[in-house]
Structure 1
Amino acid sequence: MQNMKTNSREKSINFFFPIAFILGIVPLIVRLTFIEPDSNLAKLYGTTKRSDLFSQRKALFLLIFAIILVGISVVFFKKIFDKKDKIVNSILIAAGVFLLFTVASAILSPYKQQAFYGMYDRAEGLITIACYMIIFIYSIYTFKTTDNYKYIVIPILIVVAINSFLGFFQYIGQDLIKSDLGKLIAVPSEYTNISLTLSYEAGKLYGTLFHYNYVGSFVAIVLPILFCMAIFEKYEIGYKLFAIIGSLLSIWLLLGSTSRAGIIGLVMSIIFGAIIFGKLILKRRKQFLIGLGCIVIVAIIGNFATKGAIFARIPSLISDSFSVFKDTSDFDYREHSAVKDVKNTDKGAEITLANDTLKISFENGDYVFKNSKDEIIQFVKSNDKDKSFKTDAQNFSNISLQFAKLAKTSSRADGVIVNIDNKTGFMFRLKPNNTIHLVDYSSGIDVDVVYPDTIGFKGKEKLGSMRGYIWARALPLLKQDILIGSGPDTFIFRFPQNDLVGKYYAYDTTNMVVDKPHNLYLQIALNEGVIALLAFLAVMIIYIVDSIKLYALKNEYEKDQILGAATCLGVIGYLFAGLFNDSVISVAPIFWIILGVGVSLNFINRKAKAN
């Protein structure tokens, strides 16, 4: 009798339930921490500690949950890991190859700290990626019935609702994270005297997901799922009502974030959805049109209420789409930039401008500025309030200078900043031997301007918020990463950060660090290697092809099939958003769980079809 009770309790255990906590907790964590820079990071940002509000603690909690899942899997191994078919096994093998080459890239990386623990503000090192694989595999094996889908939907609705609430106040410029209550939650007591500076303007929202672009990736996953459940699912009215509300709030998140990547992901989900559900849409076109109409009305009302702000970035998305097809192969950005070249000389530096060259040196105890003819150019203080110096010389009328002490122990102004067209330009340091050298803005380290190899995107450097600039300089790096990459989360060290003239043309400033490729696939190829990327793509292709075979153009759908198709559309949305966004700890755990559930749903539906 006792054995029967024990067996009954074990059978009643829902091993998938812990996944709900990961979905509902990890994306919402916002907690301030500081990262001590190692020697590699100091070369980019200096020795000052770097603050992290959205990533490190998310990664820590994900690790804790992953360890718990491993423990559950070990204790209940026989109950969890049942036999799967060839398709699931193929996906698992490809995922294993992806993880294997990720491990190899981390072990052999010259940037060990970041490769294992991740960058500050990102935290996607080997440990985090291993956690992704754990929750992915765990989801495949523990999602055994569609009744478990509520443990997906309920946490998603919670995350959508909380981010919509926070996002509203962020959108109107009253960020609750910076409020007293927000600080009480997000800032440890030892840092209460620190002022949170979140560099997001009113008119955009990011919730707890770190950046408005990642809100787009999040919505690209969850909106197709919620919308399909609202339109097609045979649930009771209360359940459908929550799905409708969740869909409308997701639309608000997407439009409020102004994420064009999210829009692209959603559009591609709609296209694939039309293919998969084509016959059912025609049969239930009234419900579909009503649902679509509600979304359009909400979007129009929201755009009207915000005086056009919600749709403000749509025209740029359209213009970028058309510009891709323009032939600009003979374009040289340096011919269209206010700055042609910057170089260090024996004792000074030279900035080559469109019409002249500004030569900088230090002679007889003072800075000296000359033109290309070695004629002295006088810069004078513009006014008492403004600390900048300007000149009447026509060829340098767009130049302003600022002098500062870069070293705390310096007894003189040992730094000069040359701004061009009122944009942050180039910083030079005066050394003890009275020579002048170009330095990095953040670290203060001596640098020489480089002109890296590029592939494509000539004349399209500003495409997609400067993604063209990044991709053109990232693609040549792939030839070094065929087998393994430089290590997870190490793109920042590979990118030619000293391409200051290129940065100035693309970003109108040199005071910035390119820390990500803005492309999920480039991110994997450069960090983990091309083979890891191929393995990742194999997982996705096997899953999506299998889904289309199972669900496309059916006359009627069972509940399991609708959920399987909706889950696939969420995966597709994320993957297309990934053409312009990276993987990030705020959203990636959701994706890997949804993918694991999708693989399991396909397995369930294949078994049902076979029977």
Structure 2
Amino acid sequence: MDYNKYYKKTKVKSERKIERVNNIDVKESISIDKTIYILLVIALVIIPLFIKAHITEFISPKLTFLSTGMQADIFSYYKYTFLIILTIIVAVLFVYKLLFLQYNISKRKSNLFLGILAVVVTLSAIFSPYKSVALHGMFNRHEGAITFICYLTLFFVAANTKYSIKQMHGLLYCLYPFVIINMILGIAILKGKNLIDIDWIHNFILGSIPEGAQISEGAKIWATVSNPNFISGIGAVLTVLFLTWAIFDQNKVRAGINVVVAAMSMSMIFTSLSTSGFLTIIVLLPVVFILIFFNERKVKPFVVLLAFVILATSIFIPLANKDPRVWNETFGFVIKENPFVKLQAEDNSNKNNNTAQMDTVSDVNLRKGVFKKGLSDIFLPSKAYADGNSNANDTNKFEIPTLPASSSSAGSGRAYIWEKTIETAMKRPILGYGLDTFVYVFPQNDINKVTGLGTHNIIVDKPHNIYLALLMGSGIFALLAFVTLVGAVLFMGVKAVLKRHITQQENAVMFALLTASIAYLVQGMFNDFVIGATVIFWILLGVLVSILHQATSSKKTF
């Protein structure tokens, strides 16, 4: 019997069967990638936008100024919930693709740094003196270890998912609603209109709070993230993203739309009344100009820039006329004289005169001794007596120490906060205190607080710097891993630009993601991690890694 013939026939059938199975696996893998893409789109649409009141019982880990009891939050709880749910679904799909569809994770040096960061963040929560807070974060922020691990998971999955050109565009399109809604909220507040007073908005956001609970009088919804500084920072990121996309996009209609969206993103910076976003734009402009030299069409980029400047100016002038602080927090950083103050000076002159007269009367009354003799010495003493006897000998008197003069350090007090943060972080440099435990470990009773922040009556709950937040929360190894991780990605982006590894179609998206990532890292010098903005950064950074890997797959990976 000719066994060789039989063997060859069987081998051919086996190879065909394996080929069919592989084809099925590839098709199913593509289907899984599409599902993951949809989930990432949902994350980019819902998480940054969703706000709704939630009341939870918060147990303070120690007796302090933050009391245990029922605490309310509007901006972070549901974002945190959606983030966890979507991350779990995405992770399960990815693990299925990995285990059952023969997907191979690309060997990259960045995976090592990502793993180190994840491990150190986890260990920092385990060994934190405030474990519950380090795990979940504060009730009004939810920036603990779980949130950070979710960020890293979404980044890793996004980096190991393949995208078509349409899908790349779709991931950026889904940020349009965030820009439009926050622009409307910001302009409304600046014009004195509080959208939370509209019945259906009020009922949606506050409808879940218990009967009898009330929000503070005059409460306003500035944006869909919890602080104007955050909306200024993410506004700068999105301005750079859409402006760069418009500059390099070959589709004229889409480029025109993105110029408008970039101008709308810029309005988020104007209405936030925060300087951080404007500074980020100034820093990123040279980067954009450098990238323009890699564009084959030299005229179009400057046409796009001119259109953007005209649109942004047409938004800026009416806003600055309405509120001169718009100038102070943008161009006022460079040009101190505010031309828009003069326009309002005459309108407010009567009011200012009345206020000045009231202040003058108050001063005169004090000088004339309106208080009875000795009354001010009783209520405002310069000395304290242990026995309560004001006639005691001077040797028994305790002199109240002279407090430092009130002032504010550079960056609206940030310089003082950064200095004390570094001092505190160095006491636990390896694993830190746990993410989002900042409020409990910062020296709130420091006598020099008044010289840095202008008053003692401020609770410092965050460092206003993402790098110091990592240093304080998870230690120096977490900070180094984070910087090395993002540095490796940006290095490969620059390398791809110089060697022109990116196709013309992917070029515009890659440039947009690259500049947006740099913008986020720059604004992070002045702002903190916050779910509504940080999730955008990590997902888009993962997409950037995927694009770079697809373009340089034949080269040495990173």
Cα distance between partner residues in 2 of 1:209 and 1:582: 12
Of 592, 596, 602, which aligns to 2:548?
A: 602
1:545-560 matches, cutoff 5 A: 545-552=491-498, 558-560=504-506
Residue 161 of structure 1 corresponds to 180
Indicate conservation of the 8 Å contact 1:231/1:291, yes or no: no
Match of 2:168 in 1: 149
The one of 47, 66, 81 equivalent to 1:26 is: 47
AA at the equivalent of 1:470? I
- For the pair shown, the structure with the greater C-alpha radius of gyration is 2
CA contact 2:57–2:70 (8 Å) conserved in 1: yes
CA RMSD, 1 decimal: 3.8
Which runs of 4 or more aligned residues in structure 1 lie more than 4 Å from their structure 2 counterparts after TM superposition? 1-10, 78-81, 198-201, 389-394, 448-452, 458-461, 552-557
Task: Give the C-alpha shift of residue 190 in structure 1.
Answer: 4.4
1:498 to 433, 441, 445: 445
Partner residue in 2 for 1:264: 279
User: CA shift at 1:100, angstroms?
Assistant: 0.8
How much does 1:597 deviate?
1.0
Query: 1:463, CA displacement in angstroms?
Result: 1.2
State whether residues 263 and 312 of structure 2, in contact with CA within 8 Å, keep that contact through their aligned partners in structure 1: no
Residue 16 of structure 1 corresponds to 37
Mapped to 1, the partners of 2:402 and 2:89 lie a distance apart of 48
| Stretches of structure 1 lacking an aligned partner (at least 5 in a row) | 321-381, 383-388, 402-417, 421-427, 435-447, 453-457
Pick from 57, 61, 72 the counterpart of residue 36 of structure 1.
57
Deviation string for 1:74-126 (max 9, x for gaps)?
232265944425xxx21121111111111111000110110001012110111
- Asked whether the equivalents of residues 53 and 208 of structure 2 are also in contact (C-alpha less than 8 Å), the reply is no
Letter in 1 for 2:318: G
Name the amino acid aligned to 1:118.
G
1:276 touches 1:552 (CA, 8 Å); kept in 2? no
Instruction: Please identify which structure carries the higher strand content.
Output: 1
Structure 2: stretches of 5+ with no match in the other structure? 1-16, 337-361, 363-368, 389-399
Q: CA separation of 1:507/1:10 partners in 2, compared to 1, >3 Å: closer, same or farther?
A: closer
The alpha-carbon deviation at position 133 of structure 1 amounts to: 0.9
1:486 aligns with 2:433: yes
Report the residue type matching 1:469 in the other structure. Answer: Y
Displacement of 1:480 in angstroms is 2.1
Report if aligned partners of 1:82, 1:141 keep a CA contact under 8 Å in 2: no
Sequence identity percentage: 24
Partner of 1:84: 106
- State how many pairs are aligned: 490
Map residues 113-512 of structure 1 onto 2, 5 A cutoff.
113-197=132-216, 206-235=222-251, 237=253, 239-280=254-295, 282-314=298-330, 317-318=333-334, 391=371, 461-499=408-446, 501-512=447-458
Cα 1:260–1:190 shift into 2, 3 Å: closer
Change (3 A) 1:529 1:185: same
Question: Within 1, Cα distance between the matches of 2:320 and 2:128?
Answer: 51
Pair 279,508 (structure 1): closer, same or farther in 2 beyond 3 Å: same
| Residue aligned with 2:160, SS | helix
Tell me the CA shift for residue 186 of structure 1.
Answer: 1.4
Q: CA separation of 1:489/1:81 partners in 2, compared to 1, >3 Å: closer, same or farther?
A: farther
3-state SS, counterpart of residue 34 of structure 1? strand
What is the CA–CA distance in structure 1 between the aligned matches of 2:422 and 2:430, rounded to whole Å?
15
In structure 2, the partner of 1:365 is: none
SS at match of 1:49: strand
Contact 1:276/1:548, CA 8 A, preserved across alignment: no
Which of 514, 521, 524 is matched with 2:467 structurally?
521
Q: Which is further off, 183-192 or 16-25?
A: 183-192
Tell me how far apart the structure 2 counterparts of residues 478 and 290 of structure 1 sit (CA, whole Å): 46
Q: What amino acid does structure 2 have at the position aligned with 1:158?
A: P
CA distance in 2, matches of 1:277, 1:175: 41
Q: Which amino acid aligns with 2:481?
A: A
- The residue number in structure 2 matching 1:109 is 128
What is the aligned partner in structure 2 of residue 353 from structure 1? none
Maintained 8 Å contact 1:178/1:196: no
Aligned counterpart, 1:97: 116
Aligned pair partner of 1:561 in 495, 498, 507: 507
Q: How high is the TM-score relative to the length of structure 1? A: 0.72
